[in-house]
Chain A
Amino acid sequence: AQSVTQPDIHITVSEGASLELRCNYSYGATPYLFWYVQSPGQGLQLLLKYFSGDTLVQGIKGFEAEFKRSQSSFNLRKPSVHWSDAAEYFCAVGPLNTGFQKLVFGTGTRLLVSP
């Protein structure tokens, strides 16, 4: 069965420091890959996506993610975290065998930003 693993439940980063959130997926072929962010009381906002091509993708709010096929990973990075980045981050996959592209989500990583 398809699964998405986000091994870190909580991460605390100092403002201005770099950030990396981990995501691993288990699936027979490379699915479509997404990162969403959920601020308190808000819906899910798409940060970035990977379908094919360049394995380093740029997203909104200064985020980027790198797809590594050999590691089945799609880690999210940001070089300098801002206090407003505090939120919950979800990695999701869209399995290729589902033509209507349901998303399978990881359990999320809550990012806390310290002053």
Chain B
Amino acid sequence: EPEVTQTPSHQVTQMGQEVILRCVPISNHLYFYWYRQILGQKVEFLVSFYNNEISEKSEIFDDQFSVERPDGSNFTLKIRSTKLEDSAMYFCASRETGSSYEQYFGPGTRLTVT
């Protein structure tokens, strides 16, 4: 069964450093998403991406964040200058077109900012 994959599974970085989280969505999906989950809190929407552009973003998704689909398979989330409060689990999700509206989630990348 096709699945969303994410790399790395865990990333440790120092405050102020740039990180890139990578995702490979399911191959025939066209809508892509990033969510995050701070430890002990709920899953929060960050951004959605369709047709090579951001379709919606949350207040969390400020200028420090960017997304990109650099090729036909990868979908990346970049944090330009990480802060301690960026420490969280980041989930990528994708869905196909049509009326299913089911989002399929990857296993997540745990980001730890020290």
Binary interface encoding of chain A residues 68-101 relative to chain B, with 1 for a CB under 8 A from any of its CBs, else 0: 0000000000000000000000101010001111
Interface size class of B (residues with CB under 8 A): 20 to 34
Q: Is A56 an interface residue (CB 8 A)?
A: no
CB-nearest residue of chain B to A101: B101
Q: Please count the residue pairs between chain A and chain B whose beta carbons lie under 8 angstroms apart in the complex.
A: 56
A residues less than 8 Å from B56 (CB atoms): 98, 100, 102
Q: Would A43 and B107 count as touching, CB distance under 8 A?
A: yes
What is the distance, in angstroms, from B54's C-beta to the closest C-beta of chain A? 10
Q: Is A58 an interface residue (CB 8 A)?
A: no
In chain A, positions 94-115 with a C-beta closer than 8 Å to chain B are: 94, 98-108
Q: Would B105 and A44 count as touching, CB distance under 8 A?
A: yes
Interface size class of A (residues with CB under 8 A): 20 to 34
Q: Would A102 and B33 count as touching, CB distance under 8 A?
A: yes
Task: Please choose the segment from B14-22, B36-44, B68-76 that sits at the chain A interface, where 4 or more of its residues have CB less than 8 A away.
Answer: B36-44
Looking at the complex, which one of A51, A100, A103 makes contact with B50 (CB distance below 8 Å)? Answer: A100
Binary interface encoding of chain B residues 26-69 relative to chain A, with 1 for a CB under 8 A from any of its CBs, else 0: 00000101010000011111001010000110100000000000
